[in-house]
A and B are shown apart, each in its own frame.
Chain A
Amino acid sequence: MPCKRCKSNPVIQLPNSNIKLCKSCFIKYFERKVLNTIRKYNLINHKENIISALSGGKDSLSLLYLLNKIASKKLDFKLSALLVDEGIKGYRDKTIKTAREFCEKNNIKLHITSYSEVTGKTLDKIKKQFPDTIACSMCGVLRRYLLNKKSRELKANKLATGHNLDDEAQSIMMNQFRHNIALSARLGPITGVKRDKRFVPRIKPFYFLTEKEVATYAFINGLMDEFNECTYCTESNRFVVRDMLNSLEQKYPGTKHSIVASFLEVLPLLKEKYKNQKINSCKICSEPASSEVCNACNLLQRIRQ
Chain B
Amino acid sequence: MPAVYLEREDKMIKVNELNVKDILKKLNINPTTVIIARNNELITEDAVLSENDKIKILPVISGG
Contact = CB atoms under 8 A, between A and B. Distances in A.
B58 A227 contact: yes
A230 B42 contact: no
Contact of B63 (A23, A210, A227): A227
Interface of A: 1, 9-13, 15, 20, 23, 55, 57-59, 88, 91, 167, 210-212, 214-216, 219-220, 224, 226-230, 232-233, 242, 246-247, 249-250
Interface residues of B, number: 22
A226 B35 contact: no
B63 A233 contact: yes
Interface of B: 7-8, 30-35, 37, 41-46, 58-64
Summarize A's interface: helix, strand, loop or mixed.
mixed
B62 A58 contact: yes
Contact of A212 (B32, B37, B64): B32
Contacts of B45: 13
Given A11-B42, A13-B45, A250-B32, A230 B64 contact: yes
Given A211-B62, A214-B60, A246-B33, 18 more contacts: A9-B43, A12-B44, A13-B46, A57-B62, A167-B62, A212-B60, A216-B35, A219-B35, A220-B42, A224-B58, A227-B58, A227-B63, A228-B63, A229-B8, A229-B64, A230-B63, A249-B30, A249-B32
A20 B44 contact: yes
B33 A12 contact: no
A228 B8 CA distance: 8
